[in-house]
Structure 1
Amino acid sequence: MKRFAVGILTLAAAADSLADSQYKLLVLAMPGKYHYEYIPIARDSLEKLGKLHAFDVTYTHRPEAFDGDLKQYAAVMFLNTPGEELNAGQRAKFEAYMKGGGNAIVVHRAAITPPGEWPFYEKLVGRRVGVHPMLQTGVVTVVDKGFPATYGLPERWVWSDEFYVLTNPYNVKIHPVLNVDESSYDPEKIWPGQVSKGMGKEHPIAWYHQVEAGRVFVTTLGHNGEMYRDPQYLGHLMGGIYWAVTGKGQSTR
């Protein structure tokens, strides 16, 4: 009888454990020349978000993770790591994942990829990143109050980052959720020998759109490690994860 009771408790605990996790998120975070200190900080923060919001995080710096079964993941996050890091076979598997209804989150440096090298990924990002001015403090403005990645943000948010200059060579339609006010920083402040120009009034820095059968959320914010400890930034990122995974949470008001 005692063994039976223990067995029931063990099964109940296992069932609770399974019920606690809503989904799995694959995060590819590889060190680069300008982006490496964020890795342990972002991992810790994302794993805490996973515990708080009941999802599992598979955090890796190895693109070989894309050799496995991607269908087990509700979304794939490219965290400061662009798709160019994947080999041809891994790219094909990711494309099949998206065509089968997979979802993606693209963060900061992951939006920058060599022009024309992998058009599918460029279209997935939705914009091509050119040069960018030096990291500066500016004012981020909320474009879409009804999107989950903006819910924890004020209408005008003082933030310091690299505000990427974007083009749209593939004519991809995106839905901006955050812009940056170019009057709040110097869009032309850049290193000697380079030229940067502003984009004007409509300068998106976070957006979403549909790719194949899946959802894609992109935020170009997130340059340095300390940002991954900031509650407002993490709320912005979590809102994007939540929407990418579920397609829910948008308000029409």
Structure 2
Amino acid sequence: MPTSDVLVYTRTAGYRHDSIPAGAEAFVEMSREGGLAAKPTDDPGVFTEDRLERCAAVVLLSTTGSVLTDPGRAALEAYVRRGGGLLAVHAAANAEPDWPFYGDLLGTRFAGHPPLQPGLVRVEDTTHPATAHLPAEWAWTDEWYDFTSPPRDADVHVLLRADESTYTGGTHGADHPLSWWHEKAGGRFFFTALGHTSESYAAPAFRAHLSGALRWAAGR
């Protein structure tokens, strides 16, 4: 996709995170730093094949519920299958619950989370640009999403996992992935479960995590 546009989609049809404006601003800034131009929107009408053809990457920023039209779904699926990059952040795990293609991209579905609390993230792979800057153990505060099935069973490349011994309410046990990527559908798909609070998007470690994910999704 020889283009510099990044589409940051923020529409919600369920719970709407207060952190979305901070996240959208962060993606605008990170895109600019990487020579890209991000355009936040909550308009489902932008999901056309012509519009997506001009996108280096698409970001689903804490989208919840059914936020795409049927033609928009078709356009996004075609974009990914043609080699486009899709970056799903935090509550985007709870988007498009009745769209099988998106479920296949995620490899699982959102199941719930314990209360916001501090814990430790374990970095499993530092060869990816989204994690190369991180220490092996990363102290973080978030909602620690649980999933309906083990993400690793979906044949994804896990980058981060939660250490459930450092917080309360986790349901996955010793193997609790939080961020992963794959290229199984023809394009580049990246997911991170982190990013609940507005403050997250000003934190250098998390900004670098997202920035690396964006560069990768955009093929940079």
> 2:171 corresponds to which residue?
198
Contact 1:127 1:167 in 2 (8 A): yes
Q: Hey, what's the Cα distance between the residues in 2 that align with 1:58 and 1:154?
A: 31
Alpha-carbon distance, 1:113 to partner: 3.6
Question: C-alpha deviations, 1:158-205, integer Å up to 9, x for none?
Answer: 111111112338952111100010000012xxxxxxxxx521111000
Q: 1:240 to 1:83 in 2, by over 3 A?
A: farther
Deviating beyond 4 angstroms after TM superposition, the runs of 4 or more aligned structure 1 residues are: 31-34
Residue among 65, 78, 96 paired with 2:46 = 65
Contact 2:119 2:166 in 1 (8 A): yes
AA of the residue aligned to 1:217: F
> 2:36 corresponds to which residue?
55
Residue among 105, 130, 143 paired with 1:162 = 143
In the alignment, does 2:220 pair up with 1:239? no
Q: 1:58 to 1:114 in 2, by over 3 A?
A: closer
Equivalenced residue count is 217
> 2:158 corresponds to which residue?
176
Give the 3-state SS of the residue equivalent to 1:84 in structure 2: coil
Q: Hey, what's the Cα distance between the residues in 1 that align with 2:209 and 2:81?
A: 26
Q: Hey, what's the Cα distance between the residues in 2 that align with 1:242 and 1:59?
A: 17
Residue among 128, 133, 137 paired with 1:147 = 128
Alpha-carbon distance, 1:104 to partner: 0.3
Q: 1:216 to 1:83 in 2, by over 3 A?
A: farther
In the alignment, does 2:83 pair up with 1:101? yes
Contact 2:16 2:64 in 1 (8 A): no
> 1:30 corresponds to which residue?
11
Pair member with larger Rg: 1
Of Structure 1 and Structure 2, which has the larger fraction of its residues in helix?
Answer: 1
AA of the residue aligned to 2:106: V
Q: Hey, what's the Cα distance between the residues in 1 that align with 2:147 and 2:77?
A: 23
Q: Hey, what's the Cα distance between the residues in 2 that align with 1:232 and 1:32?
A: 30
Q: CA RMSD in A?
A: 2.1
Query: In terms of mean alpha carbon deviation, does 147-156 or 230-239 score higher?
Result: 147-156
Question: C-alpha deviations, 1:97-135, integer Å up to 9, x for none?
Answer: 1111111000000011465x1110111112211122111
Contact 2:88 2:191 in 1 (8 A): yes
Contact 1:138 1:158 in 2 (8 A): yes
Residue among 175, 187, 200 paired with 1:227 = 200
Please list every run of 5 or more consecutive structure 1 residues that lacks an aligned counterpart in the other structure.
Answer: 1-20, 188-196, 249-253
> 1:215 corresponds to which residue?
188
Q: 1:75 to 1:155 in 2, by over 3 A?
A: same
Give the 3-state SS of the residue equivalent to 2:92 in structure 1: helix
**Aligned residues with identical type, % of pairs:** 37
AA of the residue aligned to 2:177: P
AA of the residue aligned to 2:143: E
Q: Hey, what's the Cα distance between the residues in 2 that align with 1:209 and 1:82?
A: 22
Q: Hey, what's the Cα distance between the residues in 1 that align with 2:41 and 2:175?
A: 35
Please list every run of 5 or more consecutive structure 2 residues that lacks an aligned counterpart in the other structure.
Answer: none
Alpha-carbon distance, 1:236 to partner: 0.4
Give the 3-state SS of the residue equivalent to 1:148 in structure 2: coil
**Normalization by structure 1: what TM-score?**
0.79
> 1:132 corresponds to which residue?
113
> 2:58 corresponds to which residue?
76
**Normalization by structure 2: what TM-score?**
0.90
Q: Which has the higher contact order (CA 8 A, sep 6+)?
A: 2
Contact 1:30 1:36 in 2 (8 A): no
Alpha-carbon distance, 1:94 to partner: 0.8
Q: 1:54 to 1:24 in 2, by over 3 A?
A: same
